[in-house]
Structure formats: C-alpha cells, structure tokens
Chain A
Amino acid sequence: MEFILYISGKINPLQSVVVLAAAILISSFFGFTKKKVFKKFIIAVGSISLFLAFCLNIYVFISMGAFSDSLLTFGIMQVIEAGIIIFAALNLLFFISAYELNSNHFVKILILLLFSTICAVFIVISENFILMFTSLTIFILTIFQLVTSLNSSVSKTGSYTLRYFLRPALTVILFLFGFSLFYGASDFKNLGQILVSENISNPLTVLGLIIFGVAVYLYFFLFPFQNPYLGLMKRARSSSNSVIWFLYFPAGFFMFLKFSELYSFYIEKSSLYTSVIFIIVTFICMFAANLGAVKTGSIRRIMSFLFLYFIGVFLLNISMFSTGIISKSSMEWLNIAGIFLLVFSFIPIYSVFSRIERDTGSDSIAGIRGFGRSNIYISVNLLIIFLSWSVIALYIIPFGKYFNGMVFSEMGAANMMLLAVIAVVFLFLMVNVFRIISVFYRKPAGGAAEKIIFPKYFYIYITFFTLAILIITVWCLMEISCIETGFMDFKITEFSF
C-alpha cells in the first residue's frame, strides 16, 4: 500500500492519465480481434478505466490538494473540467459500443478514444505553452483519426471530413503564431506569469490575444464559418457526431478558458464600442443558429444548429461581463454551468434521436412524429430535458436591480441591447423546443405510431440524466428563491473558482 501511495505521489496529478494509459496497453493486445467476447472485454476495461479515472481525479484533489509546477496545474477548475471530459468519454464509449460493435476496427477505435481522452486531460491540466500547444495538436490529430475511422465505411463523407479538419489545423497553426508573439512580448513560459507581469499591455501580447480569439472562433465553426461543420454532421455516422460534440467542442472550450484570465483583463477595461461589438457577434451567432434550426426539417441539422446556439451562450457570458452586468467569477460560473447543461442535455437527446434514426432509417423530423404517443416514458424524459433549456431565461436576473429600486434609465445602452438580445434569442430557442415537442405529440402521418423498442439499460441511462438535470435545476431555483435546502452547507450559486 505504501508503495502505491509513493508512486501516486510521484505521478501526481497524472493518476487518471496513468489509469487510461494502462487500459490502452491492455487493449492494444487485442487490436486486431474480431471476436465479440474480446470486444466486450475491452469495453469493460475501457469503462472501468474511465470510471476509475473519474473517481481518481476527484479523490486525488481531495486527498493531496491543489498542485502546480512549471508544466502542470491542478486546481478545482481543472478537476471539474477533467471530470467533464472523462464523463463525456465514458458516454462516448457507450455510444461507440452501441453502434460500432460489429466493426472490424472496434478495438482500435476504443484505443483512439482513450488516447484522445488523455490528450484532452492534458489540455486541461497543462500550464506551460509547449505542453498546451502539443497536447492540443495531438488531440486534434486523434480526433481526426477517430472520426475518419468511424466513417471509414460511409461513402462520400471524405471531402466533408477533410473540409472539417482543415479548420482545426488552421487553428493550431494560428496558435503557433500567437505563441510566437507571446514569446516576443516576454520570455515567460505560461499565461499566469504574463498576467502578473507588466508585459500584459505589450502590443505583441494584444496581437497574440486577437489571433488566439480568431483561432478559437474558427475552431468552434461560429457564424459565418459553419459550412464544414454542418456538412459533416449531416452525413457522418451518429457515433462520429457524438465524438465531435462531446469531446472536440468541450476540449476546445477548456483551451479557451485558459486564456479567459488574460481576456478578462482587457474586457474589464473595454469601451462601450467593444461591448457593442461583442453583443452584436453574440446576437448574430445565437439568432442565426436558431433561425437555421427553425428552417430545416433534418433532425441532425436541428441539433447541430442548437449546439451552435449553446456555444453562442458562452459569447453571451463574455458580452455580459464586458458591459459589467456580471462579475468575472459569475462569468466563470456561468461558463461551467453552460458546459454542464450542454453535456447533460445533448447526450440523452442525441442518444434517443440517433436510435430513432437507426430504426426508422430517416433523418427527417417527420420520423419523430407521434413518438410521444408511442414511447411515453422516454418522451416525458426528453420533455423535461428540453424544458431545462429554459434556464437561459435566468440570464435576466442580473438585470433585476434595474427593475427593483434602481432607475431603469441608468441601465445604459449596452445593457439595454443585451437585455433585448437575451429576450429574442430565448424566445427563438423556445420556438425550437416547442416545435420539437409538438411534433412528438402530433398524430403520425400513417395512422398509429409504431413503438420504437429501446433496450432496458437505455431507460436507466435516460432516467439518470433527467434526474441529474431535475435535481440541479430544483436546487438552483431553491437557492435563487432563498429557500434553505437544509441538508448541505454547499451552495451552488455561491460557488467560486
């Protein structure tokens, strides 16, 4: 036991990475197997290793505390981020196992999944520029290999995959250029050093930050650069789409969060014009995403557009911070809450929709018509999950002070614009939600709806997400309404990073 503790102390905070690496090592011995028994064994090894990595990630932080050196940093923020990545990877393992078990490359795909998870964890905990950059590049490489392996049997997706991955390739090249400018501004090796130094106002630092901002914008395929993303999502296999949503996007987002301290320094001091630019960009991204979702009849495209909408929510957080309506810590809190909502709502919704698509053979919204009548339990769960998106309405809470006591005219032009943007994009989101719900409960075109048979574990899976969303929503609402929960001192809304 002492030996294990000694080793654990030496590799701290990479315990979760070591567990995942051990699973890769075991899986590599079965790389070419076609027997289902071995494939199931590898699924078990992968699931256990991811579960262990998830638990170790939390346990190590509680038992050994925060860690920081020249290469890595491991605080409460990193624990949450790595936890989200590992949780998403565990769900991806289920997705891939459900859809690709018969593939000859199944074990290789799982190895790639575990390897990309390790790279994503490295992105989260890296502190040094070299480690940040190489982990991001290798992460994109592994995601590229994972997506191409998953789509190897699908014809005519090649050019779409290519178009998609040339964009993150450009992102890493811009990152390299940005880091070279940071190096010119100071010889510091990490962002924390730049933040506390006098070089933060150096023009090269500012230029580097602008280039990083553009690179991240391109990485997320935001308006008007969404073409390759939508093209691939429409044609690729369901398992490949889930890899992009639940691994590619969160990891990129956590990379962006690393720069948020530096951006906050400038945004805090930004002028009205900068705030207005942020608000306009936010509005365009979120409004256009909703508009696209309303117009299309393809479920995949609807979900892809709505995913872009939720990426736009992070821009909304930045806009609110730039106008001064929320503090920096509130922005960080909202960012993490946003990624939680994204993962906890999109995983169950997409798992159901992809199952329906597989059974009906159609990607059209007409395929879910009458689903609520034939599959009551699953549809009620989806209803709760969809309605949880209405928490976006809580974004008007910071504006409450202008309605209660303070003079409304003191709000300022930027905040008024922001309030209007929140109202419009929220209404459009609700239009999309009610459109999907109404299709659920409409009479099917060809008489009685055919019941889609879901496996029993699927009910447990969906119930888990619904309960998690319900508990967190009720807890937050009780805290906002100042109702004492009584059983725990911890308050979600007062939590700070």
Chain B
Amino acid sequence: MNFQFIIYFNFLLFLLGIFGIFYSKSIAALFISYQFIIFSAVMNFFSFSNFLYIRSLWDEIFIISGAISIYFLMFCIIYYIYSKLDSLEKKMIYENFRLFRMTRSDWWGEDNQ
C-alpha cells in the first residue's frame, strides 16, 4: 500500500472524528467519533513505524499502553452512565447530547437549569 494514501486516509479519519464530535447528537455517536480519532492515531503509529523506522518496538509499546489507558478511561465513563445516571438523564444523553453546547447563561446570567 502507498504510504501517502495511508496518511491521507488517516487524516480523513481524524477529520471525520472531529466532524462527528461537533455534529453528533447522542452519546453513542460521540464515542464512535472518539474511536475514529483513536483509530487514526494508531494507524499513524503503525504506518510511520512500518515505512519510516522499520518496525520499532517503541511505537508498539506506546499503542498498547496508550490504548489500554484510554479504553479504561472510556470504560469507566460508560460504566458511570449505566450505573449512576437515572432513566431521565440517560434518555436525555441518548437523544439530545452535544459536547460543545453553548448557552447564554455561561457568560451572562444565572444557570437556573
């Protein structure tokens, strides 16, 4: 496979992830967008290692330790959703959830929610 193609493809995945984070309206879509960025980063590591540095061990250690820690963090967040949030909160984050929501009260006025 062409190295340049892999890099462009990875960057496309990254942009898809970023687009998803801004566009998604549910928590599931948000986590999928996160996966796109993680996948893009892992592919970057593998392709750089394969084409530029002739398979170094360092990047494999990075990917394993990085993936374990990130997925552990995401697992804890998802477990928290299932175990701690009540049904109303769950319904809200499944149907209407934006990571970058901006409201007027953030800078001007009280937060009376």
Contact = CB atoms under 8 A, between A and B. Distances in A.
B93 interface: yes
Nearest to A144: B76
Given A162-B93, A180-B44, A187-B53, A227 B101 contact: yes
B48 A141 contact: no
B69 A173 contact: no
Contacts of B48: 180, 183-184
Q: Could you say which of B52, B53, B80, B107 has the most chain A C-beta atoms within 10 Å of its C-beta?
A: B107
Contact of A162 (B49, B85, B101): B85
B108 A181 contact: no
Size category of the A interface is: 35 or more
Given A130-B65, A158-B86, A166-B99, A292 B40 contact: no
Given A130-B62, A169-B77, A170-B99, A176 B70 contact: yes
A365 to B, nearest CB: 11
Interface in B74-90: 74, 76-77, 80-81, 84-86, 89
Nearest to A230: B106
Contacts of B84: 148, 152, 158
A179 B58 CA distance: 12
Contacts of B42: 180
Contacts of A224: 102, 106
A174 interface: yes
B43 to A, nearest CB: 8
A166 B44 contact: no
Interface in B20-55: 21, 27, 30, 34, 37-38, 40-42, 44-45, 48-49, 52-53
Given A137-B66, A170-B21, A177-B41, A226 B106 contact: yes
A291 B45 CA distance: 44
Interface string A178-202: 0111011001010000000000000
A301 B70 CA distance: 31
Contacts of B72: 137, 141
A10 interface: no
A141 B75 CA distance: 10
Nearest to B40: A177
A210 to B, nearest CB: 12
Contact of A301 (B21, B30, B92, B111): B111
Contacts of B45: 180, 183
A87 to B, nearest CB: 27
Contacts of A180: 40-42, 44-45, 48
A144 B21 CA distance: 21
Interface string A133-164: 11001101100110010001000101101110
Contacts of B110: 296-298, 301
Nearest to B74: A169
Contacts, number: 139
A144 B107 contact: no
A224 B99 CA distance: 12
A145 B76 contact: yes
B66 A133 contact: yes
A401 to B, nearest CB: 36
A167 interface: yes
A336 B4 CA distance: 43
Nearest to B99: A166
Contacts of B69: 133-134, 137-138, 141, 172
B61 A130 contact: yes
A291 B107 contact: yes
B2 interface: no
A162 B81 contact: yes
A129 interface: yes
Nearest to A168: B73
A333 interface: no
Nearest to A301: B111
Nearest to A138: B69
A137 B103 contact: no
Given A162-B80, A173-B38, A180-B42, 7 more contacts: A137-B69, A158-B86, A159-B92, A176-B66, A183-B59, A187-B53, A227-B100
22 contacts: A130-B65, A137-B66, A137-B70, A137-B72, A137-B73, A148-B84, A162-B77, A166-B30, A170-B99, A176-B41, A176-B66, A180-B40, A180-B41, A183-B59, A189-B58, A224-B102, A227-B102, A230-B106, A288-B107, A296-B109, A298-B110, A301-B111
Interface of A: 129-130, 133-134, 137-138, 140-141, 144-145, 148, 152, 156, 158-159, 161-163, 165-167, 169-170, 172-174, 176-177, 179-181, 183-184, 187, 189, 223-227, 230-231, 234, 288, 291-292, 295-298, 301
Top 10 A-B residue pairs of the complex, sorted by shortest distance between their CB atoms: A180-B44, A137-B69, A177-B41, A184-B48, A180-B41, A158-B85, A176-B41, A292-B107, A159-B89, A141-B73
